Amino acid sequence: MRPPALNRLEPSVTPLRAPGHSLSPAQLARLVRETATARQQWQTAVQFSARRRWYRRLAITDDYETWLLTWLPGQRTGFHDHGDASGAFAVVQGDLRETLASPLSTRIRYRTARLGSVTSFGGEHLHDVANVGSAPAVSIHAYSPPLSAMRQYELTDSGLTVVRTDRAEVDW
């Protein structure tokens, strides 16, 4: 059973979709954009931790969940997926760099998510997100369905290899 949400954001005026269904990457992009603009609902929760990236769940429903993440310079996620969930994130302070890779290839690509940008992705997405800048960063993330597990990967000479699976409500 999931714990209650720490803060529940007011739903959009227009329903995202009928309850009990996964949201598309485009719908998640809209959700993080709306959440990002509702700063008064999450701004006071922002914290930074030198020990590790700081995060806090903002809302959870049967269909999706939203998170607030903070990043000091040098902090990163490491390569991971989101189980079967689609996702999106909006950068509300600073810049983040996303490193994209595939388990079947050693090829990697980089893209920068700048202040105000929104990135969305489907359930097969695998990436590493990092604050490679000199200033702290803040981002809003949404996943649908809510995360149940995330696989962590290591980049080897032959590509990405799963090193562990983290489970929701157990490992984070």
Q: Is residue 91 part of a domain?
A: yes
Domain interval for residue 32: 25-161
Give the tens place of pLDDT for each residue, 108-166.
Answer: 999 999 999 999 999 889 999 999 999 999 999 999 999 999 999 999 888 899 999 99
Q: Is residue 7 part of a domain?
A: no
Q: Is residue 16 part of a domain?
A: no
Q: Is residue 168 part of a domain?
A: no
Q: Is residue 56 part of a domain?
A: yes
Phi, psi (deg, nearest 5) at residue 137: -130, 155
Give the tens place of pLDDT for each residue, 37-58.
Answer: 999 999 999 999 999 999 999 9
Q: Is residue 5 part of a domain?
A: no
Q: Is residue 172 part of a domain?
A: no
CATH assignment at residue 63: 2.60.120.10
Number of domains in the chain: 1
pTM for the structure as a whole: 0.86
Q: DSSP letter string over 76-142?
A: B--SB-BTB-EEEEEEEES-EEEEEE-TT-S-EEEEEE-TT-EEEE-TT--EEEE--SSS-EEEEEE
Q: Is residue 118 part of a domain?
A: yes
